[in-house]
Structure 1
Amino acid sequence: MNEFDADTEFDRQVQTLLSKGYSTLADQSGLRFRELLEPLRKPVLERASTMTAPTEDRVPFVLVVTRALVPIEESVPLTTLAGKQKPGVIERYYKPGELDQFVALKSLSLPDEAVYVVFDVDRGEEFCGVVPLDAMAAVAARHRTGLTMEEGIALLTHFPASLAKNKCYSLSGTRLGEKDKRVPALWISKGAPKLGWCWEGNPHSWLGLASAGSRAGAVSAVTSP
């Protein structure tokens, strides 16, 4: 018997977004914001029988609010580490305006909606110490895809314990063009989350690579490749 209650978890994540002020940042009333998210309940409940309770390293689903509604510069400061209060920060090595140029890979074919749900999210701690390019290849071989910036921020927002000392994660679903060698990542700096980037050929013992099994919007579903 599956003891995980996906319906209750859906409500918790909606409330988390509201309590952090996402509706205000999206210039919407709380009611309108709830109505925007509510259609995502259907694809979540359709998969509920296959879900297991979330752990620090793997969660069944995450509600994602894209930069179309809330800019990354505003969503990152809403993140915290588990049991901490210091707001997340953005690495200063991102040049002014450069975050807008880091976009989701077209190969992900993300739902064309301002909010959607990502399923079977793994922070990828097994890839700590692995060259990011090699980790990406391993993830692809499993018919999974790397998380985008917004998906990584959402994971941290709903599950703060997912980001821990020596268990941080790259977000390879977002890149700046085919020739740029930087891979966005979330790690810990001075007791707070930090959105930064690392080189795709440089391994770090504390940095894995997060991935997802599939995604769905209110009117569309995107499975793994």
Structure 2
Amino acid sequence: MPDTAAVPPTDAPSTALPALPALGVQAERLIELGVHETAGLSAAGLRDFAEAAAGLPGAGEGALLAVHPDRAPASALAPLLRRDGRPGFVVTDMTDVDLFAPLDTATPPDAPLYLVTGPDRGDHLAGWSPDEALPALTADARTPLLLTEGIHWLLQRPAVLERGHCFMTVGSRLRKPGGALDSRTPAIWISNGTGRDGRERRNAPKVGWCWAGNRHTWLGFGSARGRHTLP
């Protein structure tokens, strides 16, 4: 837990997050966006999984339908995001975004499709650094969201991304040669249209990064209860 005397107070809590639609509706959304084609899956296969997954743990409690990041990487998903009519984008200094892989504690099932149960934006951890928040999530039996899972969530419910209430996805990290973690941690927030983003991207969903030791009062930490796929 961080030294609270050193952490600025967080913004007021946001309103309740919009519930996820039924899995069948989520499947149709991904098909509409062409995600199944990116992943090398058929529309019928995606629909069949959504129907069968209704019996998986947590499926009846607002579970998120996700495609494995090896099938649909962040670079392909980010441009599908929309906010105020503007497409999402990856910051220019994150050309290696697809090399950010799951931590051992956030490994998705070895399957093209799976469910993410109980996704949460982690507003209560706003003002914490990734280095501080990750152990807290683990202690609370939560698993940090992968970057692609965070994007999937926003593809289904764009309103989850709010000014002052955006989130990091620290389940995805880049390893340096030798195995040490790169100091960057992925996050999804809303562009102000400044600097290299360009004014035309103001209010667009933005995939970027923050240092693992830095704190931001407007960034929570996306997490989930678990991940499940068909046996």
1:40 counterpart residue number = 53
Deviation track 1:176-211 (CA, whole Å, cap 9, x = no partner) reads 123311110001011111111100111112111111
Q: Matched residue of 2:119: which SS?
A: strand
Q: Scaled by the length of structure 2, what TM-score is found?
A: 0.79
Q: Match for residue 54 of structure 1?
A: none
Q: Secondary structure at the match of 1:179?
A: coil
**1:7 Cα deviation from its structure 2 partner:** 11
Deviation at 1:39, TM superposition (A): 3.0
Which amino acid in structure 2 is aligned with residue 21 of structure 1? G
Identity among equivalent pairs (%): 34
- Residue 64 of structure 1 aligns with which residue? 66
Say if 1:12 and 1:199 are closer, same or farther in 2 by CA, change over 3 A. Answer: same
2:159 matches 1:161: yes
Give the Cα–Cα distance (whole angstroms) in 1 for the partners of residues 171 and 119 of structure 2.
Answer: 13
1:200 corresponds, among 206, 212, 216, to 212
1:135–1:15 CA distance, 2 compared to 1 (3 A): same
- 3-state SS of 1:129 partner: coil
2:171 alignment partner AA: G
Q: Which runs of 5+ in 1 are unaligned?
A: 1-5, 52-59, 220-225
Distance across 1 between alignment mates of 2:147 and 2:65: 13
Count of residues in correspondence between the two structures: 199
1:215 pairs with 2:217: no
Tell me how far 1:27 sits from its aligned partner: 4.1
User: Aligned-pair RMSD on alpha carbons?
Assistant: 2.1
Q: Which amino acid aligns with 2:32?
A: S
Q: Map of 1:124-135 to 2, 5 A cutoff?
A: 124-135=122-133
Flag the 1:15–1:207 CA change in 2: closer, same or farther, 3 A.
Answer: same
- SS in structure 2 opposite 1:197? strand
| Deviations, residues 74-108 of structure 1 (Å, cap 9, x unaligned) | 11111123xx221110011113xx22321001222
Q: Which SS does the other structure have where 2:118 is aligned?
A: strand
CA distance in 1, matches of 2:166, 2:114: 23
Q: Distance in 2 between matches of 1:38 and 1:30?
A: 12
* 1:79 corresponds to: 81
- The CA deviation string for residues 25-67 of structure 1, in whole angstroms up to 9 with x for no partner, is 33444223323444322215x652xx3xxxxxxxx31111123
Q: Secondary structure at the match of 1:157?
A: helix
| Corresponding residue of 1:9 | 22
Measure, in 2, the Cα distance between the counterparts of 1:33 and 1:65.
Answer: 10
Q: Which amino acid aligns with 1:88?
A: G
Does the 8 Å contact 1:143/1:213 carry over to 2? yes
Are the equivalent residues in 1 in contact too, given 2:184–2:212 (CA < 8 A)? yes
The 1:8–1:108 alpha-carbon spacing in structure 2 relative to 1, beyond 3 Å, is closer
In structure 2, runs of 5+ residues without a counterpart are 1-18, 192-201
- Whether contact under 8 Å (1:37, 1:115) holds in the other structure is no
TM value normalised by structure 1: 0.81
Q: Does 1:173 align with 2:171?
A: yes
> CA offset at residue 13 of structure 1?
0.8
- Name the CA shift for 1:128/1:8 in 2 (closer, same or farther; >3 Å): closer
Q: State the AA in 1 paired with 2:35.
A: Y
Deviation, structure 1 residue 150 = 1.3
**Residues of 2 paired with 1:29 and 1:10: CA distance?**
16
Distance 1:186 1:108 in 2: 18
1:62 and 1:180 mapped to 2: Cα distance?
28
